[in-house]
Structure 1
């Protein structure tokens, strides 16, 4: 029984409670052939043959770095200096484990402390935690935190919030029996969130730039939320935008969550990514995750500690604010190193280049008859309306070695957004890349 902690009696009791006669009944929904017959796979191949087979499969993909690339929608392709990868692979960082014993994890704690400082300054907030899994889980945790702070169980999510973030929040809310209202997609940024505020809400979640690229002034909404005792959760999926745009904290947000992938981290086939979470100091004890702090030891030397650990691994489960079991330490390190190399001036210059590239592309697209730009303001991503289905255009463009953007219908399949295309242009796009996309759109409009 050393490796099977449950006794036969306990297992029988579990089966009885589930109304099952034996353990095999748990798998009754699986077809017999899946459980009893071997899978239809080659029984044996040499290492060389396996490499060739996998290489042939990989060759069917269109690599992001091999063709003009205009995909965004929450994951952005930026240049990551070689120095970032070199430094994060130093043994002092790469082999460090989660700081369960802070007194012997001083290097890791110092990096996280500096990372938190950077995030707090970027977002305009008082405190930031040591990171979360990604932007979507950070947004969902922000909703749960707002419930704890306000002692209300209802949340309102903007139609401009990335649908994946909204669905993550919905999943966690359903598990907790909370009420969550997600507004319809808002490609024109015309929703009136202030008119929908009431005293039952714990929070309003709004994204800027939103999933369609629109920049939103959060001040009027922040003032209205404050009057109702509602927390304003601001979401940022393109963290580089804060190199130019006034921080959400300065605009009145109570909690700021973001995806930090754009700084120091590649696309990585969809992950791992880096969730950023910051809030005002008065709410710090309800913040999920870890908080690293600075102190002095008995001899007056500077040291670093885990100031706040609100996970159920650290404290009683009923007092825990999150069941997220770790932070994205290596991704946070890459973020911190890249941002340190950029500095405040470099971050602003990089953001300016991104915006200028996007403006140049948008202006060129606006000259195409039949293609409509939907944005009045944007950072490095915007939404255009095509004369036909955007998904079909994207497939035709990919066949010609052009990754032209993300069809809005991929994010919201049932929302009637078939002709909308999300286009992002970063510092990596050249004049030739933009000309290629404009030519493809012009040809599409003439079909």
Structure 2
């Protein structure tokens, strides 16, 4: 449908500026069959304030995470983000080009990324971290490719406890390669992953806490992988857990990837999020993405530069370690500010609060007739079995303004073994009143 200015005078004026005689001449390059002969079913134009009012009314129909009891997790978690974070990331010093190619005018951005890398290396217990990736799922896929380059082997074994979205992204990256072994998801654990390790295995990929909330024995996994010359890739979907659990690097991990959303970044309706990656120093040249380093300038002053960035933008595509062309810079900045505000003691205290609230939740759920808590171990997330279809139960609870977790069937459609499972998370924002409301509503619905 041709757009026409409102008045004949406007049309003549516009055509004169463009240099055509008629409206039809303006659209002469468009095939006649492409024109619509009927009006689109769209509302008439409105004043700006009426559009704003309409959009506010639509937004008011949402039930946001902070509007009531909230137990949703499964890879994205509601945590408190201090107002300081939002204030600082909006300062004009950060609102510059995202790629610090010219260090002489990008020292602030480069120093922030350097500090961010230091924080990630510290919490993961690894030697070096990059300047962030897109999110946890793409970081997992990049780790699988990195392991192949390092070992010159092709077989990748994914634990059954790996988040289904992460598994699917790895499958996409590896194009469903027959050397990719995906163990079946199981609410009881990761599957017998050790029996799949052989002389062709590049890496095994284990998530802890896993998709169902179970904690995994990384030391045993590292020993089994290393005995066969393979690598251990550890996936952390809830980065706050690193404030309480022993660092993967201390347990033998070779590559650690994580979703950093929980620190400094709100749920944001699903993104943008933040991929973390850390590894051992000897593997640094096969690590994808950017790496910022510290140096001195000609006058001996401390300075920062991009030291490694072997991406396709810089070298021939077939020689690049990765085709990732950017990093989640603003999300990394928010992460770094929040982590600096917490400090080591604050990060540990935050993790302890999460675990303490999860214990209260698990104990309360275990006291409901017909509900079984499947986890013997957990950090802030657990799986329960209910005596009916979980998806419809969660929907009914949502009708009571209680967001009671994620039905496992939502992320594992077509698997009848998970139809009665709900994955619930508790964070530092979960209150005793929230838990009481969930328990009362569950009892009524199950009765």
TM-score for both structures, normalised by structure 2: 0.90
1:349 Cα deviation after fit: 0.7
**Are 2:73 and 2:425, in contact at CA under 8 Å, matched by a contact in 1?**
yes
Tell me the equivalent position of 2:123. 122
Q: What whole-Å deviation, never above 9, does each CA across 1:335-393 have from its counterpart, x for those lacking one?
A: 11111111111111111111000001100111111100000010001000011111111
Alignment partner of 2:305: what SS? Answer: strand
Q: Residue 352 in 1 paired to residue 352 in 2?
A: yes
Alignment partner of 1:174: what SS? Answer: coil
| RMSD of equivalent CA atoms | 1.6
**Are 2:372 and 2:384, in contact at CA under 8 Å, matched by a contact in 1?**
yes
Q: What whole-Å deviation, never above 9, does each CA across 1:285-305 have from its counterpart, x for those lacking one?
A: 000000000011222111101
1:153 Cα deviation after fit: 1.9
Alignment partner of 2:132: what SS? Answer: coil
Count of residue pairs the alignment pairs up: 414
1: CA distance, partners of 2:286 / 2:426: 37
1:63 Cα deviation after fit: 1.0
Residues 321/400 of structure 1: CA separation in 2 closer, same or farther (3 Å cut): same
Residues 269/402 of structure 1: CA separation in 2 closer, same or farther (3 Å cut): same
Tell me the equivalent position of 2:161. 160
Alignment partner of 2:251: what SS? Answer: coil
**Are 2:197 and 2:228, in contact at CA under 8 Å, matched by a contact in 1?**
yes
Q: Residue 149 in 1 paired to residue 150 in 2?
A: yes
Question: Which range moves more in the overlay, 225-234 or 189-198?
Answer: 189-198
Q: How does 1:116-265 map to 2 (within 5 A)?
A: 116-174=117-175, 179-189=179-189, 191-265=191-265
1: CA distance, partners of 2:443 / 2:35: 50
1:83 Cα deviation after fit: 0.9
1:43 Cα deviation after fit: 4.4
2: CA distance, partners of 1:246 / 1:281: 20
Q: What whole-Å deviation, never above 9, does each CA across 1:2-50 have from its counterpart, x for those lacking one?
A: xxxxxxxxxxxxxxxxxxxxxxxxxxxxxx9998866432243332332
Tell me the equivalent position of 1:19. none
**Are 1:94 and 1:330, in contact at CA under 8 Å, matched by a contact in 2?**
no
**Are 1:234 and 1:248, in contact at CA under 8 Å, matched by a contact in 2?**
yes
Q: How does 1:242-391 map to 2 (within 5 A)?
A: 242-391=242-391
Tell me the equivalent position of 1:13. none
Alignment partner of 1:321: what SS? Answer: coil
2: CA distance, partners of 1:360 / 1:281: 41
Tell me the equivalent position of 1:3. none
1: CA distance, partners of 2:207 / 2:186: 11
Q: What whole-Å deviation, never above 9, does each CA across 1:136-160 have from its counterpart, x for those lacking one?
A: 1100111111111111222111110
1: CA distance, partners of 2:139 / 2:40: 39
Alignment partner of 1:307: what SS? Answer: strand
1:411 Cα deviation after fit: 0.8
**Are 1:153 and 1:178, in contact at CA under 8 Å, matched by a contact in 2?**
no
**Are 1:96 and 1:108, in contact at CA under 8 Å, matched by a contact in 2?**
no
**Are 1:289 and 1:326, in contact at CA under 8 Å, matched by a contact in 2?**
yes
2: CA distance, partners of 1:36 / 1:168: 43
**Are 1:185 and 1:415, in contact at CA under 8 Å, matched by a contact in 2?**
no
Tell me the equivalent position of 1:418. 419
* Consecutive unaligned residues in structure 2, runs of 5 or more: 1-32
Q: Residue 396 in 1 paired to residue 417 in 2?
A: no
**Are 2:184 and 2:191, in contact at CA under 8 Å, matched by a contact in 1?**
no
**Are 2:139 and 2:258, in contact at CA under 8 Å, matched by a contact in 1?**
yes
Tell me the equivalent position of 2:60. 59
1: CA distance, partners of 2:255 / 2:121: 11
Q: How does 1:51-90 map to 2 (within 5 A)?
A: 51-90=52-91
Residues 107/444 of structure 1: CA separation in 2 closer, same or farther (3 Å cut): same
Residues 118/35 of structure 1: CA separation in 2 closer, same or farther (3 Å cut): farther
Q: What whole-Å deviation, never above 9, does each CA across 1:234-289 have from its counterpart, x for those lacking one?
A: 00010000000001111111100000000011001111101000111111100000
2: CA distance, partners of 1:46 / 1:232: 58
**Are 2:183 and 2:193, in contact at CA under 8 Å, matched by a contact in 1?**
no
**Are 1:131 and 1:275, in contact at CA under 8 Å, matched by a contact in 2?**
yes
2: CA distance, partners of 1:34 / 1:376: 64
1: CA distance, partners of 2:39 / 2:199: 58
**Are 2:134 and 2:328, in contact at CA under 8 Å, matched by a contact in 1?**
yes
Residues 190/179 of structure 1: CA separation in 2 closer, same or farther (3 Å cut): closer
Alignment partner of 2:175: what SS? Answer: helix
Alignment partner of 2:351: what SS? Answer: helix
Q: How does 1:15-30 map to 2 (within 5 A)?
A: none
**Are 2:358 and 2:381, in contact at CA under 8 Å, matched by a contact in 1?**
yes
Alignment partner of 2:221: what SS? Answer: helix
2: CA distance, partners of 1:207 / 1:442: 32
1:95 Cα deviation after fit: 3.0
1:316 Cα deviation after fit: 1.9
TM-score for both structures, normalised by structure 1: 0.90
1: CA distance, partners of 2:257 / 2:373: 28
2: CA distance, partners of 1:100 / 1:197: 42
Alignment partner of 1:249: what SS? Answer: helix
**Are 2:101 and 2:306, in contact at CA under 8 Å, matched by a contact in 1?**
no
1:444 Cα deviation after fit: 2.7
